[in-house]
Amino acid sequence: RALVDGLTAESLAADTEPVAASGGWPPPVSHRVADCLRVVLDEEWEHRRFAERDLTVLESRPQ
């Protein structure tokens, strides 16, 4: 949370350093920090939705 709280418009607009994949493919590419953060937050949100759905199903089963 401290990391996200410390982000600025400038840091979100910055590009990541390109990282080369092993084997040379795909070619190295950089991404905007804001796009990377969006992917992480979306994945976390979807994971939580599925976990809560699955827990609800498990809790509703007779014991």
pLDDT of residue 61: 85
Residue 44 or 61, more confident: 44
Range of 15's domain? 2-60
- Which residue, 57, 9, 16, 24, is CA-closest to 40? 16
Predicted confidence (pLDDT) per residue in 17-58, tens digit? 998 888 888 899 999 999 999 999 999 999 999 888 888 888
Residue type, 4: V
Q: How many CB atoms lie within 10 A of CB 60?
A: 7
Give the count of domains, the chain: 1
Residues in the chain: 63
